[in-house]
Structure 1
Amino acid sequence: MKKQLIIWIISLFAVANVYGQDEQFLVLEFIKVEPNKVLDYLEYKEFLTKVYEQEKEDGHIKGWDFWSLQSGSDLEGENFQYLTVTYYDDPVSMMNGNNIDQLVNSAVQAFPNLSAEQAKNRITSSLEMRDLAVRSYMIEVARTDDDFQYKPGILATFDLMKAVEGKFQDYEIAEQEIFLPLHQKKISNDLMEDWRFLRTALPTGSEAKSTHLTMNIYKDYIQFFNSMEYEDMEMTDKEEEAMIEGLKSRDQKWVYLATLDSVVR
């Protein structure tokens, strides 16, 4: 196990060196909150936004999103209400992102009237408000060429995928060589704003629920529904055949529709 972990860390650094500073590492946290604690948690979210603004200013993160989930899986245990996405420059920063002392220090800087003990109590007490059901460490593999700026109110679908056993590489090739150009075409036709393809950064076995995720970003519901209506826009027979073959290399586990509530950039 120790040997596998060392190999994984080395591979992450290799990925970081290949990707360079423009590529990203992301941590996605799917969250459930008890109905009687929603207002308290949303108030804490405002506090957390200021903390992550300080984290960004200090260079600990590249950005942070807070999404409200409108729909998703009906499976018991998977009906999340919120999703946070934190962006990092490198795998080390990603793995250190939940350092409580660092968050406390950022909170004290963001709120000068708050003592370190008060900040720590506020952060730790938030753990009682919510159930962090899933935390995923991911690497950005590919994305569209666009300059879209995230802002509150935009929509996204988060599509969780699992590569078919034995077709991991086939699936990644399909996303990059078939689906990426199709999404780029949608952006050119004002049917989408941004698209990203992510791979899990931690070692996973055959029982993992998902291995990849796509982020599909829309400016509003009109664009979202237009995009759904013109799913096969200007697709040639060859492209359609390649798309169908690519779909066979993965299993779409579930899709979450979300609205962006807060953003730090």
Structure 2
Amino acid sequence: MKKLSITLIIVVFILSWAQAQEPRYLVIEFIKVETGQMYDFIEHKDFMQKVYQVAVNDKKITGWDFWSLQSGADSGEFQYITITYYKDPVSMMNGISDDDLVKYAMIAYPHLGDKQIRDLYGRSLLSRDLAQRSYMAEIATTKDNFKMSKGVLASFDLMKAVEGRFDEYEKAEREVFLPIHQKRINRGLMGSWSLLRTALPFGSEAKSTHLTINLYKDYLQFFNAQEFEDLESTAEQRAAEEKGLKSRDQKWVYLATLENLVR
């Protein structure tokens, strides 16, 4: 049954892959670090950045981000978000094995031996608690030339589509809300926007079914965007927005700053 479920997930993602232009596949991890482990985790973050750079060079992944949480539902729930980017759904589901990570670490740190690498990697894992991991596919995005760099601000909006209104919600995001975000981008009030669909966890008990990522170059742009009001929108458009909002439940919004990235 488990093997069949994974096969179905991969089929769904391959279908969405064929329908989208240059889609991205992301594994998003929400990480909690206890106060006493903070120093060890910072070492882990710096250690893993070089390891993931080797993984990018080997074309195992296409990128990696490390985000520091600024606000959210509960500051004690988790403090960091990492995103690992893959070229296709099969690579995403397979991920990077511990053996491959050790291999990449030995390339990144040639002065260290196998035992030292494994000990360092093992200790680094103990410094954090993986609160949640989500496998996602990008299914819609704005047209922009936004460049990712340290200090970029992101709003991660976790959504749960109303049961029975899954397609209606995605249609609303593409046809109603994407144009609104595109207007903000065209007016310099936003950097980029994308809609992601969750593969795992899935089912009626999943905390969310979708995620939107809103990118801003800094806090000034972020706050200006919050003040934006589309005075040109028609009554029909506003009604469509209201209908779209009812097709989903906005679970949580997390504001985070990009601290490290690998491409």
Q: TM-score, normalised by structure 1?
A: 0.94
Identity of aligned residues (%): 55
Unaligned runs of 5+ in 1: none
Deviates more, 1:153-162 or 1:101-110: 101-110
The correspondence of residues 115-130 of structure 1 with structure 2, limited to 5 A, is: 115-130=113-128
Q: Deviation per CA, 1:201-245, whole angstroms, max 9, x where unpaired? A: 236211111000000000000000000111545433222111111
- Quick one: distance in 2 between partners of 1:19 and 1:203? 22
- Quick one: distance in 1 between partners of 2:59 and 2:86? 9
Q: Which residue of 2 aligns with 1:65?
A: 65
Q: Which residue of 1 aligns with 2:95?
A: 97
Aligned residue identity for 1:101: D
Q: What SS is found at the alignment partner of 1:206?
A: coil
- Quick one: distance in 2 between partners of 1:154 and 1:190? 15
* The one of 148, 151, 161 aligned to 2:149: 151
Unaligned runs of 5+ in 2: none
Aligned residue identity for 2:246: K
Aligned residue identity for 1:36: G
Aligned residue identity for 2:46: E
Conserved? CA contact 1:8–1:203, under 8 Å: no
Q: Which residue of 1 aligns with 2:111?
A: 113
Q: Which residue of 1 aligns with 2:12?
A: 11
CA distance 1:108–1:245, shift in 2 (3 Å): same
Q: Which residue of 2 aligns with 1:190?
A: 188
Conserved? CA contact 1:144–1:183, under 8 Å: yes
Q: Which residue of 2 aligns with 1:54?
A: 54
CA distance 1:124–1:92, shift in 2 (3 Å): farther
* The one of 240, 255, 258 aligned to 1:257: 255
Conserved? CA contact 2:160–2:210, under 8 Å: yes
- Quick one: distance in 2 between partners of 1:40 and 1:212? 32
* The one of 219, 231, 240 aligned to 2:238: 240
Give the aligned length: 262
CA distance 1:17–1:115, shift in 2 (3 Å): farther
Q: 4+ residue runs of structure 1 moved beyond 4 angstroms?
A: none
Conserved? CA contact 2:181–2:193, under 8 Å: yes
The correspondence of residues 191-210 of structure 1 with structure 2, limited to 5 A, is: 191-202=189-200, 204-210=202-208
Deviates more, 1:8-17 or 1:35-44: 8-17
- Quick one: distance in 1 between partners of 2:144 and 2:36? 41
- Quick one: distance in 1 between partners of 2:58 and 2:157? 32
Q: TM-score, normalised by structure 2?
A: 0.95
- Quick one: distance in 2 between partners of 1:64 and 1:14? 25
Conserved? CA contact 2:24–2:85, under 8 Å: yes
The correspondence of residues 161-200 of structure 1 with structure 2, limited to 5 A, is: 161-200=159-198
